[in-house]
Structure 1
Amino acid sequence: MAAPAETPDPTGDAVAPPPGGDGVVVSTAAPDAAAVDAALALVTAAERADGVPPVSEQQLLRLRGGGTARHLLAHDAGGRLVGLGVLDAGDGDEEALVAELVVAQDARRRGTGGALLRAAREAAGTRPLRLWMHGALPGARALAAREGLVRVRELLTMGTTLDDALPPLPDPDGVRLRAFVPGADEEAWLGVNRRAFATHPEQGAWTLDDVLAREREPWFDAEGLLLAEDSATGALLGSHWTKTTPTDDGGLRGEVYVVGVDPSAQGRGVGRLVTLAGLHHLRGRGVREVDLYVEGDNAPALAVYTRLGFARTGADVLVATPTAGGTR
């Protein structure tokens, strides 16, 4: 297949498609419906093969909904999609470009990943490029090392089982629990989320559209979004948003999706209350295994989760071009 002409991306930049190994060609374009279906199939196959999602949930939602991220499409000589890249300004730095790359299992070690990364670096131009390595798989680490990318951030995955009895729910003075009410609680939840994650590159930047997109997902369960509020004023103090996904054996796997406490409520026992309330909820739904993500340098959170029986199971690593420096 001949290399396509240089294709402008939706932001006005342009990327010359570099060839990869075995005739792979990378182009930039807003994918049509067929390309989106092929990309989603590629992501699903990669997750099954590697045991970790190859792209973030945010980018997956954008891919499904035709959001603002740019896409790199790698096709082999027969026109089959063998690689995908999503590029997005983010990570708390509008001057940086953040990339997530997926390569089909049978197209690995053939130059496909390198071609995608070269295209991403071309798209970044003079801006820093940051690359998420989900699961920090050996192939991704080797590619990052060859390209001189440096580690700047680590997002740990932790897991536990709910076989043993959970501690009882604490009863902080002046705090009550209730479930989230769709259509009524979004703005209050977003306010706490923004304050709780004011320095977090992704979570603190959520918008109402981000919340509503998740409410439309099949896994959303309003009863599993536990809110802690002040008994006297009704002000929202914190929350635990749980998530469940089906397992191959017909069961459910749980996730501590988002736990946030308003800084003004720190020291009132809200964090432990909502965390345990969410775990009790998941156990009540028959969940046996629970996962979570936590920043690798968040010592207080790591201590809390360790005391609750969570142990490290993996990590997503963010690497960057040296011009990005060692900061987030």
Structure 2
Amino acid sequence: MSDSLTLSVSSPDEAREPFLRLVARAALVDGQPPFNDQALVDIGKGTRSLLLAERTSTVVGAAIVGQGEFEFVIDPEWREEGLGRQLLEILLRNSEAGLLAWAHGDHPASRRLAASHGFRAVRTLLQLRRELPASAGPGTELPPGISLSTFRGGADVDDWVELNARVFADHAEQGGMTAEDLRFRMSEAWFEPDDFLLLRDAEGRMIGYNWLKIEPDDDRVGEIYVVGVDEAHAGQGLGRFLMNRGLARLVERGCAQAALYVDGENTRAVALYRSLGFTDHTIDVQYRQVLTGRPRG
């Protein structure tokens, strides 16, 4: 049928224009991006596939598939026509069971679609936000022997990858970041070395960091992209110092709001962020397919 949905594998370069338009429209309507950063990095590296969904020769959706998981979005102009269900079923017909899938925003339609196709929620990712003051307040002092600097490439790349792997040893996605992943992000338009704050001990070892992200086309909201402290230095207030210094940097950059993502089960981090004035903004849910055979519905 001429109005049936078709999927085609596309290279990020060939699909750049329609894909970016689709992502921008979805983000505007939904209030958040339809794909996470790691998925976008992976299609750039070629370790995941970008699929464009077309109907009557018009791009109406997109999916990123690979490494045992997928994410997809339907253009807001084409929703309420069952295209999300069609796209999901095409993806499932061409994949093995046990897939993971992200639903950004935890919309009721996503929950219904997941339940009808044998997926259950296995992880929640909270997006928290807080308003920022017009000017940065006085900073707090670091413990003796610990210094603050900013990212300068070179040896900082390997030092950060090693520290990040230790900090997030139980987090396969974040802890698995490689030097290649880091360099890919360094090539992005939003990357600014002075927004990548580093802590070192008296011997010069990297022991903590707060990496900030400010999109060039939306500098009202600054993101605490990832923050971590070496477990050997826990209990010294370094996480709170890095957060406060990061918030001050966002104020210096002219941001009006700060945002961050945190796993709902990370109670210690959630408590820290809430104590700093962050409140709930949206929720992302990761689902795993547990049903075998034909989908229900």
Flag whether TM exceeds 0.5 (same fold): yes
Aligned counterpart, 1:13: none
Q: How many pairs are equivalent? A: 291
Aligned counterpart, 2:272: 304
Aligned counterpart, 2:58: 80
- Name the CA shift for 1:99/1:308 in 2 (closer, same or farther; >3 Å): same
Counterpart of 2:237, as a letter, is G
Aligned counterpart, 2:25: 45
- Compute the displacement of 1:223 (Å): 1.0
Aligned counterpart, 2:167: 196
- Measure the CA separation in 1 of the matches of 2:141 and 2:151: 20
- Measure the CA separation in 1 of the matches of 2:113 and 2:161: 38
Aligned counterpart, 1:221: 192
Is 1:26–1:115's contact at 8 Å kept on the other side of the alignment? no
> Mapping of 1:46-195 within 5 angstroms?
46-63=26-43, 65=44, 67-76=46-55, 78-89=56-67, 97-125=68-96, 127-163=97-133, 166=137, 168-195=139-166
- Compute the displacement of 1:132 (Å): 0.3
Aligned counterpart, 2:289: 321
- Name the CA shift for 1:304/1:173 in 2 (closer, same or farther; >3 Å): same
Is 1:74–1:112's contact at 8 Å kept on the other side of the alignment? no
Aligned counterpart, 2:4: 24
SS at match of 2:155: coil
Counterpart of 2:150, as a letter, is A
* Relative contact order higher in (CA < 8 Å, ≥ 6 apart): 2
Is 1:179–1:225's contact at 8 Å kept on the other side of the alignment? yes
Is 1:237–1:270's contact at 8 Å kept on the other side of the alignment? no
- Compute the displacement of 1:167 (Å): 6.5
Aligned Cα root-mean-square deviation (Å): 2.1
Aligned counterpart, 1:274: 242
- Measure the CA separation in 2 of the matches of 1:260 and 1:161: 22
- Measure the CA separation in 2 of the matches of 1:118 and 1:167: 55
> Mapping of 1:248-267 within 5 angstroms?
251-267=219-235
- Measure the CA separation in 1 of the matches of 2:47 and 2:258: 31
Q: Deviations over 1:144-183 (max 9, x none)?
A: 1222311100000000112286563232232111111122
- Compute the displacement of 1:66 (Å): 5.6
Is 2:189–2:216's contact at 8 Å kept on the other side of the alignment? no
- Compute the displacement of 1:247 (Å): 5.8
Aligned counterpart, 1:5: none
- Measure the CA separation in 2 of the matches of 1:170 and 1:185: 23
- Measure the CA separation in 2 of the matches of 1:227 and 1:35: 36
Aligned counterpart, 1:14: none
- Measure the CA separation in 2 of the matches of 1:120 and 1:73: 12
- Give the TM-score of the pair, scaled to structure 1: 0.83
- Compute the displacement of 1:303 (Å): 0.7
Q: Is the deviation greater in 188-197 or in 281-290?
A: 281-290
- Name the CA shift for 1:73/1:167 in 2 (closer, same or farther; >3 Å): same
Is 2:119–2:291's contact at 8 Å kept on the other side of the alignment? no
Structure 2, unpaired ranges of 5+: 293-297
Identity %: 36
SS at match of 2:166: helix
| Residue of structure 2 aligned with 1:295, choices 234, 256, 263 | 263
Counterpart of 1:39, as a letter, is F
Aligned counterpart, 2:180: 209
Q: Is the deviation greater in 30-39 or in 219-228?
A: 30-39
Counterpart of 1:271, as a letter, is G
Aligned counterpart, 1:12: none
- Name the CA shift for 1:222/1:105 in 2 (closer, same or farther; >3 Å): same
- Measure the CA separation in 2 of the matches of 1:179 and 1:210: 19
SS at match of 2:94: helix
Q: Deviations over 1:124-153 (max 9, x none)?
A: 22x311110011123222211222311100
| Residue of structure 1 aligned with 2:213, choices 243, 254, 260 | 243
- Compute the displacement of 1:119 (Å): 2.1
- Measure the CA separation in 2 of the matches of 1:50 and 1:119: 24
- Measure the CA separation in 2 of the matches of 1:297 and 1:32: 34
